[in-house]
Amino acid sequence: MKRILVTGAAGFIGSNLVARLMTECHDATIVGIDNMNDYYDVRIKEYRLRNIESIAQNGDNRWCFMRGDIADRGFIDSIFREHNFDIVVNLAAQAGVRYSITNPDAYIQSNIIGFYNILEACRASYATGQGVAHLVYASSSSVYGSNAKIPYSVEDKVDNPVSLYAATKKSNELMAHAYSKLYDIPSTGLRFFTVYGPAGRPDMAYFGFTDKLRRGEKIEIFNYGECKRDFTYIDDIVEGIYRVMQHPPQRRSGEDGLPIPPYAVYNIGNSQPENLLDFVDTLQQELVRAGVLPHDYDFEAHKELVAMQPGDVAITYADTSALEQNFGFRPQTPLREGLRRFAEWYKEFYG
């Protein structure tokens, strides 16, 4: 892993992955790109980049950050020509289920056109005689849509997306499979399950709940509290990516002698769905402990049970047996421990 590209490097997962690479790799060139859009508070993205810079000053790796958009074909092509990447980790995407209902253009630009540009750049890299050894990209648990069978397995059909965001992520998997088949590009898709932790995305429920509770506003708990989510701590997500990126799917032939696409998909989730009511109760306890909320905070007066929102599903639940079998890893950070770290960071960041 000498030349690595991480797109979405100022994002929640991307920045944590870069930080891990900067500490684990040696004599490597790590290039990060991000368009630094204002979908959420840019100050958090800048905070993440400062953390990376501080790590980079104390190691032997070369860190290069470039501001740009993966939907800009010329920008992507020029970066690939300059660096001849060994590994590409595409984490840049327009995230959020509800936002996709009101702003669909952003999802087509970033998640479809942007990902196409990454695939084309990977294909073109083979013409140089180098070739990307492994493309790893972010998919999502949202691809399971309205599937009734749980836990969700990578062997399940995922033909029932309930949001445009989910549809774009499923499209990414189909596009990657086609390029693996046509151009022999090893690629792995990772379906992340409700990622949380310090310096996370403010549009995620745990972060939004915290903001509202701190302001004394009511929080809305959807599906009347009957939702369950497979909350996965950020360090577990990064550990999964780090292990997977080092082992691309092998090029091999099937029983008929024809090549099998070097393509794989894995779930990364905690495999322990938490009831949303229990989740927010644990969250408020940790916010009180960290001093974000006062000890006499009346939590019951600040929550409201409401109906399900468009694009949501009632439960997410990851079957991670494939990840365990192939990489010997299973996410296991307890929810309370993860929320405690978030609450402590929130107190430090916002005061």
Catalytic residue ranges = 165
Cβ distance 110 to 138 under 8 Å? no
> Which residues, 6 or more positions from 38, have their beta carbon under 8 angstroms from its beta carbon?
none
> Which residues, 6 or more positions from 49, have their beta carbon under 8 angstroms from its beta carbon?
9, 10, 15, 65
Identify residue 332 by its one-letter amino acid code. Q
Give the dihedral sign, CA 261/119/77/244: negative
Burial readout 257-283 (b: 16 or more C-beta within 10 A, e: otherwise): eeeebbbbbbbbbbbebbebbebbebb
Q: How many CB atoms lie within 10 A of CB 118?
A: 24
Q: Which two tokens stand for residue 258?
A: 């024809």
Q: Which two tokens stand for residue 156?
A: 């399940």
